[in-house]
Every structure is written in C-alpha cells, then in structure tokens.
A and B are shown apart, each in its own frame.
Chain A
Amino acid sequence: MPRNLLLHFRPRRIPRAALRFSLTWGLGGMAALLIVQQLVSGLLLSFFYEPQPVHAYQSVVHIQETVFLGRLMRNMHHWTGHLLVIVTLLHLLRVFVSRAYQPPRHRNWLVGLGLGLLILIANFSGYLLPWDQLSYWAVTIATSMLGYIPFVGDGLEVMTRGGEEVSGATLQLFYAVHSGLVPALLILLMAYHFWYVRKAGGVMITVGQKSGQSDGKESVEVVPELLEREVAFAALVTCCLLLFSMAIEAPLGSMANPQLTPPAVKAPWYFLGAQELLLHVPAFVAVFVLPLAILFYLVLLPFIDRSSGKSSTIIRAIFYFALAALSGLTAIGICFRGPAMQWVWPW
C-alpha cells in the first residue's frame, strides 16, 4: 500500500539527465524536507507551548531552560523557518530562470505560488508566538501596514488582530493559523505539487545540456539512483541545520510590553522591503498596489509568457528588475536601518 501510494508521486524510471543537481539545485526537495522538519519540531514544541499572553513567553523560557533538548528544538524550528522562506524564494527563482512555468507546468506554478504564500503566512504567524518585545512590536508594525489598504484596511487590521491592538486574541488567532490551518493546507498543496511534477514528466530538463552527450534518452531507476542522491542531500542539509542550531541561539528578548516600544524594532525581514518603501512612496502604494501587482504578475506569468520572443524578454526583464529592487530595499531595511529607522552603517 505505501509503495503504491508513493508510486503515484514518483515514476519508476526517469531520464538520466534529470539526475543532474544543477537542474534544480535541490531547492524544491530541500523546501519539502524543511517543511517536514518544521511539522515535526513544531508538533514537539506545541506539547509545551501555551498560547496566552505571559504564559506564552514563560512556556518558551521553560522549553529553553527545562525541556530536554528543548532549546535545540526551538533553535531548529526558528532557523528552519527563516531558511524555508529563503529556499522557497530561490526555488521560485530557479523555476523562473528555466521557464518551467510554461505549459505543461503552468498549473503547478500556481500551486507553488499558493505554497509560497502559505510559507510566508506560517513564518509570520509564528513570529508572534514567543511573545517577546520583538515579536509583539514586529507584528504590531506589520499588521498596521494592513491599515493602509484602501477601504477594507482598517477592518482587515482589526480582523487580523482580533481587536484594536495586538493582544491575547491575536496570539490565539495566530496560534490557530500557525499550528492548524497552515500545516493542513501545506500538506494538501504539497501532495498536489508533487503529483503535478510527475504529471508533467518530472523536473524540467533545460536545453543547456552539453552537446555530445548522446545519453539524452537513457533512463535510470528511481530507486536507488534518485533516492540515494536525495537521501544523501537531505542528510547533508539536516546536518548543517543541526550544527547551525547548536551554535546559534534563536533570539528571545524580554517579555512583550504593550506600553513600551523598544528602539530599533523592525517588521519581519521579508516585509522590510515594503517597510523601507513605506518611507519613500505613498503608503497605499507600498502596502497595497505593489504587492498586488507582484501577485498579479506571478499569477498571470504562465499565461502571458508562452513563447520566447521580444515580449517575453520584456516580461522577464520586469521580474529581474523587481527582484533586484526588492532585494536592495530589503537589504537596506535589514542592514542599514538602526533605531527609529535612521540610516546607519553596518560596519
């Protein structure tokens, strides 16, 4: 039975060319691996976590100080969460570069966008859970950004917070989303995503194949050829993550104090591009028009870019330009902004 089920996600044989690491850089598989790790470490943490103000912070301290391997577990969950966002973005970039969003993979591109959005929601909803000063005020800032959306902004802000301010209601809501809604949807969409990969005949083999290789048609067994490589790579990634989490602590500041905003508080790093923009352009452009434009672009991409003509060059140039701009803004937000968002040099 399990073998039968797995066979629906995996073919029995694949072309030898599909084994080449640089086709995917292992990014999709790595994202899947990290998601599974997050599900496991998240479940373990949830046995000890209490989603109410004050208790939440104390339970995180308890996890760190008392629970066996609790500190390592929290560190891993924290760093894997951030790594997952980065890996997902790189995965999107790799798929974009090889034009794998074109048919027959156009529907899977959409599923992937949904997964990417879910990963952002997972990370952001997890941000509040430690209930320290950083998480409280970062979420205050990020949810306040919603208020700049025309017409529905205020309502959306109140709905996301479960009230006028970030409070126990917000924590409960975020915990439900983080530990209930997101994992369930992630598992469903991941299954769909994998199945679509198989349906399209496996990973995209780019035409950049070295000429002279006559084995383009040669195929190999998935077990063991592909599986061995995957397991080795997964072990390597897990090992690096473990070492990193043993060496570097996940930050935990002092307990959230709704009366006192600490200096130098920032939104989560993946929102810092938007927050940086907020200082330079009208608010509704930064938090509404641009994100919506990006979303529309990504959703429509497989349907507007189907050939490789001049229009395709322009469409793809927009992506690279937006990516460069957003990366630049995010880097500025992370490195060059100090207390009160004043310009500072990181060195």
Chain B
Amino acid sequence: MGVAVVENSQSDSRRNFLSKVWIGLGGVALIQFFYTTFHFLGSEKKSTANQKEERIQAGAIDDFAPGSVTFIPAGQFYLSRLGDGGFLAISRKCSHLGCSVPWVADREQFECPCHASIFDRTGNVIKAPAPRPLDLYSVSFEGFQVVIDLSKPSRRSAFDKGQVAYPGELG
C-alpha cells in the first residue's frame, strides 16, 4: 500500500510538471501567434507600395506667381506661393477627419466640405473644428524646378516662417 501511495504522489507531481510545461508552451505559442499576426497585418500591401512617386517636380519656379495657390494633381497637394516668394506644399487632406479640402479662390481660403473648417493660404486654421493646420510636404529646388518630397507629410501645431521654402536667390 505504502508503495502505491508513493507512486501516486510521484505520478501526481510528474503530471503537474507536465501540465505546467504544456501551459508554458501554450503561452509561448500564443505570443508567437500574436507577434506574427501583428507583423503580418502590418506588412505593406502590393497595391499601395508603388502608388505614388516619392519626389515629384511641380514645375518651374516662375510658373507660380507670388500669392497664388495651385493644385498639383500628380501629387494631390496644393503649392502655395506666398506674397514674399516663399513656397509651401500643403496637403489636401483635412486635419480634422480626412476630407479633401478645396481651395476657394473667391474667398482665398481652404474650406472643408465636411465640417466647415477653414484654413488660410498657409494652411493655418481660421475656423475650427480642425485641430491643427493642414500638413506640409517638404519643398526643395533643383535648378529652376520646384521639387516636392511626398514620402512623409509633416504635422505642425501652427504656421511659422521656418516652414516656408525660398528659392536660392531670394533665400
């Protein structure tokens, strides 16, 4: 009888140990599952990878009169040339909920059709609910060409002079 009891407690502890191993392995498997799922879902889609050119030429510097706002269809953004000759490449995507914001030439402002946010020619908010100015793309100049880098729009909390790009001779 005594032997049987010892055997029982031995097999009990072995069983305990094995079930702990199983639970541990299950935990590891679960972590692996979530890790791979997360990375799988985060992978870049084929159709979006080559959709947009990263850098595009908007045109010659002199094509854009100071004080004008021009929509550049190739990159889906506005090129705003300020009165002092500086350039801003402004995203058309409303900073509130992502609607496409048209430039209303009559009133010289961007007016969002979804929730009536209004932005000035620098993208600054004139009227809420938009929480921040329209995003910017970085502008550079190659020869006489205005070149815009579309890889990453940058957020800003307000307009300031530092965001404006000036062609070399004015700069």
A144 CB contacts on chain B under 8 angstroms:
96-98
Interface string of A261-302 (1 = CB under 8 A from B): 111110000000000001100010000000000000000000
Contact A263 B45 (CB under 8 A): no
Residues of chain B within 8 A (CB-CB) of A141 are 97-99, 114
Q: Which residues of A contact B96 (CB under 8 A)?
A: 144
Are B76 and A140 neighbours in the complex by a CB distance under 8 Å? no
Instruction: Indicate if A1 sits at the interface (CB-CB under 8 A).
Output: no
The contact of A339 among B47, B113, B129, by CB within 8 Å, is B113
Chain A: residues with Cβ within 8 Å of the partner, total of: 31
B contacts with A: majority SS: loop
Residue with the greatest number of chain A CB neighbours at <10 A, chosen from B45, B93, B101, B131: B45
Q: Are B48 and A260 neighbours in the complex by a CB distance under 8 Å? A: no
Per the bound structure, the CA–CA distance linking A264 and B112 in Å amounts to 11
Complex CA–CA separation, A82 to B115 (angstroms): 25
Are A167 and B48 interface neighbours, CB within 8 A? yes
Instruction: Give Cα A278 to B101, complex, Å.
Output: 19
* Residues of B89-121 whose CB lies within 8 A of A: 93, 96-102, 111-116
Residues in A whose Cβ lies below 8 Å from that of B47? 167-169, 172
Assuming the contacts A278-B129, A279-B115, A342-B116, asked whether A259 and B48 have C-beta atoms less than 8 A apart, the reply is: no
- Chain A residue at minimal CB-CB distance from B116: A340
With A279-B115, A339-B113 as contacts: A260 and B97 at CB distance below 8 Å: no
Counting CB contacts under 8 A, is B41 at the interface? yes
Q: Which of A159, A167, A340 contacts B41 (CB 8 A)?
A: A159
**Nearest chain B CB to A334's CB is how many angstroms away?**
16
Additional pairs, 16, CB under 8 Å, beyond known A137-B114, A144-B96, A163-B48: A140-B99, A145-B97, A159-B41, A167-B51, A169-B45, A169-B47, A172-B45, A260-B100, A261-B99, A261-B100, A261-B102, A261-B113, A261-B114, A278-B129, A340-B111, A340-B116
